[in-house]
């Protein structure tokens, strides 16, 4: 990086199935204003805006960024919209950070939004991500693809439906501490195992909800950081990796997602993630995806993920808490979801997590994934490593 970027503020809306109380620009305005307040900035202080939104067919408005630009404070400012499916929020954060590290902009707003509530059937829309000639006809959608991936990963990584349920219980418990979370309910392992099968081995409580909501994160150049907020979150590593996702042609389980994270680790000087990272905001909309990340992100040896789940490794108070916010399993405004991971990781580093704060966070990892799942990852994978100090 030519120069460093830091995060100086975050803002989120309450996530819900349908935010009928707010239009799309209203949601953007709410998240943006909260981020500006958090960073104690005015809209005139923002030099450029990067906007994230995933498939327009979920929202029913083409290039909705153009409608929402005014609400993001982007009038007469450099503005661009990013779309990498579920990883959109991660790519939005990366693009905003590049605005700063290029040396051309000092303060840049990343803001992302989705109104999944506008679509009667999100999975039917997501069937349309597949090849119209070779794959769409197979009734593939994200849930079906993850189910296939999960049944394969249970074999490779050695975990059971019981272990998946443990992850689900943990994430739902965490969401009770997060005022923005969509699903806020306490569930037991039995509740998960007995919930209706959506697509085996995924049951209802193994799956994320579909949410409306927006998230904003403000990036600034390192020289401005000290003058703005007492404790910024330093961007110590960031990377993205795009994979091919023609079903049947993907590589080994989960290694694609790991590539982005390990690239970011290298930038941040991390070689022992279990010792060097205190909290992970993982992009895991399904309980099985988080299991796989334990191994692929270097937190355990092969085939140890089940043991980690049993030991409470990723719980609050565990060795390395995973998704203290409740994660994607409890709120999933698709285009914004990966930016929420970055925001929540920044909140942890800045010590603003309130009831969901993990003590003494020096380094936090935020991941993103989008497109169709290959085994253990998506077409698009992003990673950002934030630190209390520059690495």
Partner 1 sequence: MANKVAIIGVAQSKYVENSGDALVDIIFEASAKALEDAQLKINDIESVTLAAHDMVDGRAITSMLTAPPAGAYLKDEIRVAEDGAFAAALGCLRILSGDFSTSLVVSWSKCSECANDTLHKVANLTYDPFFYRPFALNDVTSCAIQAQRYMSKYNISEVQAAQVVVKNRISGVKNELAHLRSKVTLDEVMKSNPVSFPLKALDLPPWSDGACALVLTSEDFAQKLKKPCAWITGFGWVNDTYYSGDKDLAELESLSLAVNQAYKMAGISNPSKDIDVAEIHDITSFHELMEYEALGFCPKGMGGKYLDSGATAIGGDLPVNPSGGCLSSNPYTAVGLIRLAEAALQVMGRAGDHQVPGVRTALAHGISGLCAQSNCVFILSK
- When the beta carbons of 61 and 156 are compared against partner 1, the nearer one is 61
User: What does the H/E/C string look like for 83-104?
Assistant: CECECHHHHHHHHHHHHHHCCC
| Residue 101 engages partner 1 in binding (rule: CB under 8 A) | yes
Q: Which stretch binds partner 1 (CB under 8 A): 36-44, 61-69, 165-173, 316-324?
A: 61-69
> Cis omega before residue 239 (within 30°)?
no
Contact call for residue 244 and partner 1 (CB under 8 A): yes
**In degrees rounded to 5, what are phi and psi of residue 268?**
-90, 0
CA gap 97, 267 in Å, rounded: 14
7-15, 55-63, 109-117, 361-369 -> range binding partner 1 (CB under 8 A): 55-63
Q: Which of 335, 327, 348 is nearest to 285 (CA)?
A: 327
Is residue 148 part of the contact set for partner 1 (CB under 8 A)?
no
In Å, what is the CA distance from 67 to each residue of 51, 113, 349?
A: 11, 12, 33
Q: Which of residues 31-50 bind partner 1 (CB under 8 A)?
A: 49
Strands 48-52 and 279-281: unpaired
Which residue's CB is nearer to partner 1, number 24 or number 169?
24
**Window 258-317: residues binding partner 1 (CB under 8 A):** 259, 263
Window contacting partner 1 (CB under 8 A); options: 26-34, 177-185, 223-231, 239-247: 239-247
**Interface size with partner 1, residues (CB under 8 A):** 65
| Both tokens assigned to 386 | 């934030």
Q: Tell me which of 27, 46, 53, 181 binds partner 1, using CB under 8 A.
A: 53
Candidate ranges 33-41, 123-131, 284-292, 309-317; the one touching partner 1 (CB under 8 A): 123-131
Residue from 213, 232, 333, 370 touching partner 1 (CB under 8 A): that is: 370
In angstroms, rounded to a whole number, what is the distance separating the alpha carbons of residues 39 and 219?
10
């Amino acid at each position: 990086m030519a120069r460093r970027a830091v995060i100086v503020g975050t803002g989120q809306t309450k996530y819900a199935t349908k935010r009928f109380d707010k239009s799309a620009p209203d949601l953007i305005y709410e998240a943006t204003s909260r981020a500006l307040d958090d960073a104690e900035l005015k809209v005139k202080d923002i030099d450029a805006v990067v906007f994230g939104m995933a498939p327009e067919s979920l929202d029913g408005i083409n290039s909705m960024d153009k409608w929402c630009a005014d609400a993001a404070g982007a009038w007469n400012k450099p503005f661009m919209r990013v779309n990498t499916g579920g990883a959109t929020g991660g790519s939005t954060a990366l693009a905003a950070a590049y605005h700063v590290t290029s040396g051309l902009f000092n303060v840049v707003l990343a803001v992302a939004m989705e109104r999944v509530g506008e679509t009667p059937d999100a999975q039917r829309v997501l069937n349309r991500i597949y090849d119209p000639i070779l794959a769409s006809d197979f009734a593939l959608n994200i849930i079906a693809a993850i189910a296939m991936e999960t049944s394969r990963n249970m074999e490779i990584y050695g975990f059971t439906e019981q272990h998946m349920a443990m992850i689900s219980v943990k994430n739902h418990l965490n969401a009770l501490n997060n005022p923005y979370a969509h699903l806020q309910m306490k569930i037991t392992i039995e509740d998960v195992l007995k919930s209706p099968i959506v697509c085996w081995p995924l049951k209802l409580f193994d799956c994320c909800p579909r949410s409306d909501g927006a998230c904003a994160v403000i990036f600034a150049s390192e020289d401005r950081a000290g003058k703005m907020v007492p404790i910024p979150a330093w961007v110590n590593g960031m990377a993205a990796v795009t994979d091919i996702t023609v079903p049947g042609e993907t590589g080994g389980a989960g290694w694609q997602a790991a590539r982005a994270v390990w690239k970011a680790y290298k930038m941040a000087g991390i070689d022992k993630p279990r010792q060097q990272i205190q909290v992970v905001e993982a992009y895991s909309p399904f309980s099985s995806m988080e299991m796989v990340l334990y191994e692929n992100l270097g937190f355990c040896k092969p085939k140890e993920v089940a043991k980690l789940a049993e030991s409470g490794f990723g719980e609050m108070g565990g060795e390395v808490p995973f998704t203290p916010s409740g994660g994607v399993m409890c709120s999933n405004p698709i285009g914004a979801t990966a930016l929420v991971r970055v925001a929540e990781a920044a909140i942890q580093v800045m010590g603003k997590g309130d009831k969901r704060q993990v003590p003494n966070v020096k380094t936090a990892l935020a991941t993103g994934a989008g497109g169709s799942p290959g085994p253990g990852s998506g077409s698009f994978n992003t990673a950002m490593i934030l630190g209390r100090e520059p690495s």
